[in-house]
Structure 1
């Protein structure tokens, strides 16, 4: 698997970026969805942690962080930073964890996995999350033409996903969908950043309503966020 990720650190700009150092907008994004559950002592794991932005945010809140990653360079950085490394096979995670997880995150990862691997991720979440624990997902929205530059701009993407597909895959598991839709959009730059985002949101909302009026209820957002809760 790692052969397809040669030079991926350079492609993403991670080779010279600080590890586990989320930006202000990263922190806003994670806090919006998970700020009430990621706290001191919580066990948190990430699939494909990349440059560790999410794990860095969770660790700063006192969580005990674990993760899996196909890239050797990223694994080396994580090991040096004290992250508990997990195997790529979700079925073997239980033996590598000290308890049930509060959160499992797969951020911009499921498109890199096969359908069987994604089904394994959902099944593992149902086994490994504590009751009320959350599976947090973000992936390109396969129902929207606006996702095409994201979906087909990376040779390592192998699956096209949507909220209905993930809901189908989760049927029969002890997971309830509590949110599926357009991602929260953090802002940067103080008042100017907030004003720019508000204008963008107004324009996008108007375009969405026009498209829905003409073509029906198409989910046009480029990325989809889903939050699933363990029963």
Structure 2
């Protein structure tokens, strides 16, 4: 789409820049994935302006990325990353990655293609590997600005829809939670917001969930949702990949 890169503010000047705030955010966002020690193999789908590529490199992970926009593929290659076009995903070896990450990508995938998309990611997982997704929270009104703020978003995803997609793709949901809030490492404003409004919103969300959705693992306190998926029946996941705190509860349908 003409003008999309400029609208997003993506380009050569800022590509692959890892700010102090980004490094802190990604470190906290990946904290409950378990022991992904170097030389972990990571695949990022839709890496955008390359912040998570840079984070992965900074912590010693072997990272590969795919992108839809050819300009971004060229920028990543020029920066020394293994980068491929989105339509080249099938050329990457199956069973090769400990982590497949897709930040703000799933909402760009049409509903009818969502199961096939997850299956394609699952195929790339090594034994015990996990998928990390972040997407706008369709279960809460506070996700609306992110969901409807990008003309290329074509699917609104809530927990129940995610459960269906995951089951059809042969995946288990290991974790569903709100995205981590940025803190003082990003800016004073972000830090103060996390300590004040962030706490209030979390409390209000917990109360609303208890009142209206006590049996559903919905997130009502965050504009973005993060979920961790693993292949159903993969007995090597367990504590090696997810901390005890990170395991989700199984919901019984009524």
Q: TM-score, normalised by structure 2?
A: 0.78
Per-residue deviation, residues 23-74 of structure 1 (Å, max 9, x unmatched)? 2232223222435444422221111110011111011122222111112221
Q: Aligned partners of 2:187 and 2:115: how far apart in 1?
A: 42
Report the counterpart of residue 84 of structure 1 in structure 2.
82
Residue in 2 aligned with 1:7?
3
Pair 1:74-2:68 in alignment: no
Aligned to 1:27: 23
Select 1:182's aligned residue among 178, 181, 205: 178
Other-structure match for 2:101:
105
Q: Taking structure 1 as reference, are residues 10 and 37 closer, same or farther at Cα in structure 2, changes over 3 Å only?
A: farther
Change (3 A) 1:120 1:62: same
Paired with 1:72 and 1:198, the residues of 2 have a C-alpha distance of: 40
TM-score when normalising by structure 1: 0.85
Structure 1 residues not aligned, in runs of 5+: none
Number of residues of Structure 1 aligned to a counterpart in Structure 2: 225
The aligned counterpart of 2:53 is 55
RMSD of equivalent CA atoms: 2.6
SS of match in other structure, 2:86: coil
* Correspondence for 1:199 among 182, 196, 201: 196
Q: Which residue of structure 2 lines up, in the alignment, with residue 224 of structure 1?
A: 225
Structure 2: distance between partners of 1:103 and 1:122? 13
> Matched residues in 2 for 1:166 and 1:190: separation?
30
1:160-183 Cα offsets, whole Å, 9 max, x none, are 111221221111544321211211
Alpha-carbon displacement from aligned partner over 1:178-207 (angstroms, at most 9, x marks no partner) = 211211213125996645422122221343
Counterparts of 1:23 and 1:210 in 2: how far apart (Å)?
A: 35
Structure 2: how far apart are the matches of 1:97 and 1:82? 20
- Select which of 152, 170, 178 maps to 1:156: 152
Deviating more after overlay: 10-19 vs 74-83: 10-19
